[in-house]
Amino acid sequence: MEAENHTEVSEFFLLGFSEDPELQPFLFGLFLSMYLVTVLRNLLIIVAIISDSHLHTPIYFFLSILSFVDICFTSTTVPKMLVNIQAQSKDISYAGCLTQMFVFMMFGGLDNFPLTVMAYDRYVALCHPLHYTVIMNPHLCILLVLMSWLIIFWVALAHILLMIRLTFCTDTVIPHFFCELPQLLKVSYSNTLINNLFMYVTTGPLCLFPVMGILFSYSKIVSSLMQMSSTAGKYKAFSTCGSHLSVVSLFYGTSLGVYLSSAVTHSSQGSSVTSVMYTVVTPMLNPFIYSLRNTDVKGALGRLICRAASCP
């Protein structure tokens, strides 16, 4: 099949999960329910934090950022997949594919940021409580958010600009349920050496630095707790990190699982299934973890629901 210039490519075709027509209603119902739960639960977390003055602290400010990012992250892929299932279509426009990939990389990269800063926040709160309000001041919090957005924006934009120079066949099939960068590089007819190099050069630091920051923060926290003589004090101090540790374990655990599974298997369907873990399942579970394990969030949600129900 002859390769043609990307300017002549009007659309791609997303292979999705299955071509079995009997399975489509089940897939539609499953992903629609998961998507609605993700959006509603994360929105509930955001509203509870905004409406409750007790939660107007840096840790919950970044939790609201995490919930917002999770909503946008899952909204990048799932709605288009649902439309394709319902319409029994697999097409996505060339511009729509690049846009989806850009937004996916933006919010996928931003997912690391709140988790890293929240670990640092717990480190400051437990190891330097007297200086907490000075270190974690509102100006620093806003500056960190803006810096992370700018860095991820320019990295994602650079990927798109490098992608524009590639050529594709007019009937290109992407063996996935959304436009993911590695999958598009595999189906391109151009030399993708520069694209692959840039992907590895940028992905390494964007993943490595947050992980190092989280490990550093918790190493300091553990060291500080070991110096406490009271067992009850240790438990109370470390319990404030329980929700964050659970979310961190879920996020990096699923990401590592997806990476290892893609390295072991070359099946497109297997890659799509494992990708569901970090694109759909993780954003859906995050608000449940915080609402169940965090007493402050649980109390704020209770007060919010009570106000909505006009409790006395």
Whole-angstrom Cα Rg for the chain:
22
Give the pair of three-digit tokens for residue 197.
């190099």
Position 159 scores a pLDDT of 94
Bridging pattern class, strands 91-93 and 11-14: antiparallel
The number of distinct structural domains making up the chain is: 1
Q: Which residues contact 115 (CB under 8 A, 6 or more apart)?
A: 66, 210, 214, 244, 247, 248, 251
Q: Which residues contact 86 (CB under 8 A, 6 or more apart)?
A: 28
**How confident is the model over 23-43, as a mean pLDDT?**
92
Q: What are the helix (H) ranges across the chain?
A: 24-51, 58-75, 78-87, 94-110, 112-127, 132-135, 138-164, 181-187, 193-226, 231-239, 242-264, 268-276, 282-293, 295-308
Position 3 scores a pLDDT of 43
Bridging pattern class, strands 11-14 and 173-174: parallel
Mean pLDDT of all residues belonging to the chain: 83
**How confident is the model over 232-250, as a mean pLDDT?**
75
Q: Which 3 state secondary structure label does DSSP give 134?
A: helix
In contact, 289 and 243? CB cutoff 8 Å: yes
Q: Is residue 50 part of a domain?
A: yes
Q: Is residue 202 part of a domain?
A: yes
Global pTM? 0.88
Q: Is residue 1 part of a domain?
A: no
Q: Is residue 41 part of a domain?
A: yes
In contact, 291 and 301? CB cutoff 8 Å: yes
Position 74 scores a pLDDT of 93
Residue 264: which pLDDT band, with cuts at 50, 70 and 90?
low
Q: Side chain identity at 108, as an amino acid letter?
A: G
Percent over 70 (pLDDT), the chain: 87
**How confident is the model over 181-195, as a mean pLDDT?**
87
State the CATH number of the domain containing residue 247.
1.20.1070.10
Q: Which residues contact 103 (CB under 8 A, 6 or more apart)?
A: 72, 76
Q: DSSP assignment, residue 9? A: -
Domain that holds residue 275: 6-308
Q: Which residues pair with residue 174 across a beta bridge? A: 14
Q: Is residue 235 part of a domain?
A: yes
Q: Is residue 109 part of a domain?
A: yes
